[in-house]
Amino acid sequence: MKLRNMSICQSWWLCRPLTKSLFSPQTQRFWCHSLPLSTKVKILKHKVEPLGISLDNSCLPGNYHNLFCPKCKGGQLMERSLSFHIITDGEFAIWRCFRPICGWAGQVSADDKELDNKPDEESLGLEPLGPKLVAYFKERLISEKTLSRNSVRQLSDEKNVIAFTYKQNGLIVGCKYRTMEKRFWQGKVIDKVLYGLDDISHATEIIIVEGEIDKLSLEEAGYQNCVSVPDGAPGKVSSKDPPPIEKDTAYQYLWNSKDYLDKVVRIILATDNDPPGQALAEELARRLGRERCWQVRWPKKDELSFFKDANECQVLHTYNHSIVANGPRFSNTWELML
């Protein structure tokens, strides 16, 4: 029954007069009639590749293609569920995954002007960190080398604002700003993903932290296989089960990073040692699968308190510090050296 539904969905999608029904006159204004067809196809190919859609030479304009969906991978049956179409004159490409649980859809135009709208450091008004912010990070034991490798920048017209660039496949997909007074805001976002995503593209063991600075701290300790959540921690653990993926807006960054996370065998949750941090660890474990999640126990700071996070641990303990993570079964432990 399920399969039958899917094929109905698929044929419904494929039979629709796509160009007429889904594209408003506004979209058409971007059409570029001047470029040769082969160039337009090349541009489209170039644009969809970072999204995980790989086109071979058989993908010609005017035809429909069933490809593997990079978001859901076609589910358990590994169906080629992504219906992909380049319109006849090569002006744009459009796609939709016909698995109802996924339904990923999108479009790109062959107009080069659209490429100009992609954020880069220049369009975001970013520049390399100045001496003041470099000193700020140095106090937190984060070196210029680590800052540079992670493309940490500052706003060129407001020099005290740190800009954490969020990248995927080397391209900026988002940017988060932070003042020295710990005020945060989000810049233009194309895709909400984990911070440092490219660093886990080949990792089977990863560490998830609660902030960009903790990610940088772990790099100082020798761990590059680390990512940070983009939005900090929730107030408390939800009393309900996680909603379906498409409605799970608060954790969309996990689903957008799914390709990277699916192949990971062990996930070390190194969130903050406070109630929101513990709630975040729980919400992450619920979504990532408890069986592969391990949770860090931050060590005692003094008689009464514990360290709060990776950065605090590192700043207050300049010597090597062994930190234990508890595995899904209590007998399992894993050590992190900070």
Residues that bind Zn ion (CB under 5 A): 69, 71-72, 97, 102, 104
> How many other CB atoms are there within 10 angstroms of residue 299's CB atom?
15
Distance CA 239, CA 2 (A): 30
Residue whose CB is less far from Zn ion, 102 or 162? 102
Query: How many CA atoms does the CB half-sphere of 268 hold within 13 Å?
Result: 28
Distance CA 227, CA 224 (A): 8
Residue whose CB is less far from Zn ion, 104 or 166? 104
Residue whose CB is less far from Zn ion, 97 or 261? 97
Residue whose CB is less far from Zn ion, 92 or 104? 104
70 Cβ contact partners less than 8 Å away, ≥ 6 residues apart: 51, 52, 53, 82, 259
Minimum CB distance to Zn ion, residue 73 (Å)? 7
Minimum CB distance to Zn ion, residue 333 (Å)? 37
Phi/psi at 22 (nearest 5 deg)? -105, -10
Minimum CB distance to Zn ion, residue 194 (Å)? 20
Distance CA 231, CA 256 (A): 14
b/e for 208-243, b at 16 or more Cβ within 10 A?
Answer: bbbbbbbbbbbbbbebebbbbbbbebbeeeeeeeee
Sign of the four-CA dihedral 218, 220, 225, 226:
positive
Distance CA 195, CA 166 (A): 6
Distance CA 170, CA 198 (A): 7
Residue whose CB is less far from Zn ion, 102 or 142? 102
Minimum CB distance to Zn ion, residue 47 (Å)? 19
Residue whose CB is less far from Zn ion, 70 or 299? 70
Minimum CB distance to Zn ion, residue 105 (Å)? 9
Distance CA 279, CA 269 (A): 11
Residue whose CB is less far from Zn ion, 81 or 168? 81
Minimum CB distance to Zn ion, residue 71 (Å)? 5
- For every residue of 244-307, DSSP letters joined together read PGGG-GGGHHHHHTHHHHHT-SEEEEE--SSHHHHHHHHHHHHHH-GGGEEEEEPPB-SSS-B-
Residue whose CB is less far from Zn ion, 82 or 194? 82
Minimum CB distance to Zn ion, residue 241 (Å)? 22
Minimum CB distance to Zn ion, residue 198 (Å)? 22
